[in-house]
Structure 1
Amino acid sequence: MRDYRLIRAFFWLLLATLIWGTTFPIHKVVLTDLQTLPYLFIRFGIAAVLSFLIWKKHSFKYGATLGVILGLAHALQTYGINFTDASKSSFITSLYIPLTPIISYLIEKEKPNFIQWVCFPLSLLGSYMLFGGISGFNFGDFLTFLSAVLFAVHIVLITKFSKVVDETSLLAYQFLFAAIINLSMSFNSNWKLGVPIWLTVIYTAIAATIVVNFLQVKYQKVIGSNSTVLIFIGEPIFASLFSFIFLGERFSGLQIVGASIMIGVIILTTFSYRVNKYLKKKLDLKEL
């Protein structure tokens, strides 16, 4: 029964990364930099209203905490990309992956198992190869790094809070405060949003916000923050795949190797609990 719960959690969280991945080519086609913050405000605002209507219980304290962190993370990432390259921004954002086990240990005392210790540096290598790494470090990179820290904190706190209160009570106020944060930074933005952007808002508010965050609050606590963040490296892989299919983007051999490493990490993570159990038994170690 425990194995079934774990596999089901892995599947639904991987589906969440697939949904996230679909948004990247859409954003690239329909959004400009000056429209991003208004878009995020409306996206999270719609998600908040729907969540208040769908669910009856709402935790202000925990939901608001998650919302402020999520809103600041998105805002810093969006603002920071104005001062750096998109590839650098993507790679620096991916640093939330190795940051998560550090923050998870500080907050929840969750230690990576042996397989996760192997997977974290592999995921960083794969991300470096996929995004091209970084050259130099500027103010935009610093803001993006801060967003990566906040994304990592957000993942760990979802795991922690979902063990304390009803899972769905974490959603409505989280989206509301994320919307407020993005609104507060969007007054110099372009508020002329056409039909394609409104269609994107509706899709992302429902699928990439409500559905994905519901899957997070429901299943992260089953497998823990460390396994969750290793599954989330599927997001850039799916984003690249959909960009290839719908936008005709091409990738170098190095990028393909990087993506292959990250796919291997996801597969290894999915069965890490079995592999770790086998190694413990085989090597007769109390803890790996």
Structure 2
Amino acid sequence: MTTDNRLFFWMTLAMLGWGASWPIAKILSSYITEHELVTYRYVLTTFTMLPILYWMKLSFKISLKNLALSIITGVFLIFYTKLFFLGTKYGEAGLAGALVTTLMPIIVYILMLFSRQKKPQTKDWLALVLGVIGVFTMIKVWTFETSQIFNVSNVYLLWAALCWAVMSISASYAKDTHPVVLSFYIYLFATLIDWLVFFKPTSGSIFAMDQTFWAGFVFLAIGSTTFATTVYFLGIQKLGSNKGSVFTFLVPFFAIGLSVVLLGESLQLTTLIGVLMTIVSLMILNNVNLDFWKNKLYKN
């Protein structure tokens, strides 16, 4: 296996980890509350980031500005995680994963338009319309009454996507700090703030939980967070953000597929069509060049 193929394999595995977080969160929702999930998940993630930082020989040094940004981002991460958890608890995990992961970058782009960091062209407006139609297709909006469009699960997922978008923009202002180091501080502050302000242990000791809980919990904290985030950032360094970001388009498909396998959810054609429409929209908005990927396929 060549170096490039090895990198593609690990990047795909990282996206599998991100996609798996949705059905796993659905499983964990029957064991613990959203308040417990954040503290338990990120305390384990924070500790498992330490050997990663040591292995990568990264310094813990961070400027006061970036430290403040990591605190702000950590707060948004708390709310995102709780909303994502509740969205999967009260709705279908596959649809939730597809909806949020495709909606997040669209919201980021729209927020950048309002802040005038982007000057949209005609193709961008058309892409946004296509993205919105894709989202509506995923939730089969034509079958809803007005009240159903804003049901509890959809509201949670919409706010989750918005929180992640704001969190992404906030983190983007942190300059001169390695993204893995920044992630460590974000997880650390998310843990501390949630534990001090929101934490309410109402489900009993997690050490009394069964093997299903522990398998899902450990994978969510380490596989879907520590491992996937680290591999993604390393991949971005090697491939560049434009090429590396293409891998994120795999996440909604993994979320849907794993929800079918792990939870027995039905595979909805409208969900797949909606995902494809939003992915095309995102590729247009981000000016993704597929020539590199075509060359790779032909070489292999």
Would the TM-score normalized by the shorter structure come out above 0.5? yes
If asked which structure has higher relative contact order (CA below 8 Å, sep 6+), I would say 2
Within 2, Cα distance between the matches of 1:157 and 1:61?
10
Could you give the per-residue CA deviations for residues 130-161 of structure 1, whole angstroms, max 9, x where no partner exists? 23346243677656544322210222333442
Closer, same or farther in 2 for the Cα pair 1:73/1:27, shift >3 Å? closer
Relative distance call for 1:167 and 1:95 in structure 2 (3 A) is closer
The DSSP-based 3-state class of the residue aligned with 2:33 is helix
Correspondence 1:131 to 2:139: yes
Residues 1:176 and 2:179 aligned together: no
* 1:142–1:32 Cα change, 3 Å: same
Tell me the SS of whatever aligns to 1:57.
coil
C-alpha distance in structure 1 between counterparts of 2:200 and 2:220, whole Å: 22
Instruction: Report the residue type matching 1:51 in the other structure.
Output: M
**Equivalent position SS for 2:222:** helix
1:47 to 2:45 alignment: yes
% same residue: 20
Is the CA contact (8 Å cut-off) linking 2:19 and 2:97 kept in structure 1?
A: no
CA contact (8 A) 1:101 1:112 kept: no
Worse-superposed segment, 132-141 or 232-241? 132-141
Question: What's 2:274 paired with?
Answer: 258
* Separation of aligned partners in 2, 1:132 and 1:223: 32
> Retained in 2: the 8 A contact 1:25–1:243?
yes
CA distance in structure 1 between the partners assigned to 2:110 and 2:231 by the alignment: 23
Q: Is 2:20 the counterpart of 1:25?
A: no
How much has 1:76 moved relative to structure 2?
Answer: 3.9
Alignment correspondent of 1:75: 82
1:91, 1:274 → 2: CA distance?
22
Aligned residues of 1:21 and 1:236 also touching (Cα < 8 A): yes
Distance 1:260 1:214, change over 3 A: same
> Residues 177 and 108 from structure 1, CA distance in 2 versus in 1: closer, same or farther, beyond 3 angstroms?
farther
Q: 1:51 to 1:16 in 2, by over 3 A?
A: same
- Aligned match of 1:99 in 103, 107, 116? 107
1:64 maps to 71
Count of aligned positions = 265
Judge which range, 167-176 or 239-248, deviates more: 239-248
Match of 1:155 among 165, 168, 171: 168
Determine the structure 2 residue equivalent to 1:247: 263
How far 1:187 sits from its partner (Å)?
0.8
* More displaced 10-residue stretch of structure 1: 176-185 or 42-51: 176-185
SS in structure 1 of the partner of residue 203 of structure 2: coil
TM-score if structure 1 supplies the norm length? 0.70
Give ranges in structure 2 of 5+ residues lacking alignment: 292-300
How far has the Cα of 1:79 moved from its partner?
A: 5.3
Query: Which residue of 2 is the match for residue 278 of structure 1?
Result: none
For residues 74-107 of structure 1, the C-alpha deviation after alignment (integer angstroms, 9 at most, x for no partner) is 224445777x655896687454332111233566
1:217/1:108 Cα in 2 relative to 1: closer, same or farther (>3 Å)? farther
Unaligned runs of at least 5 residues, structure 1: 276-288
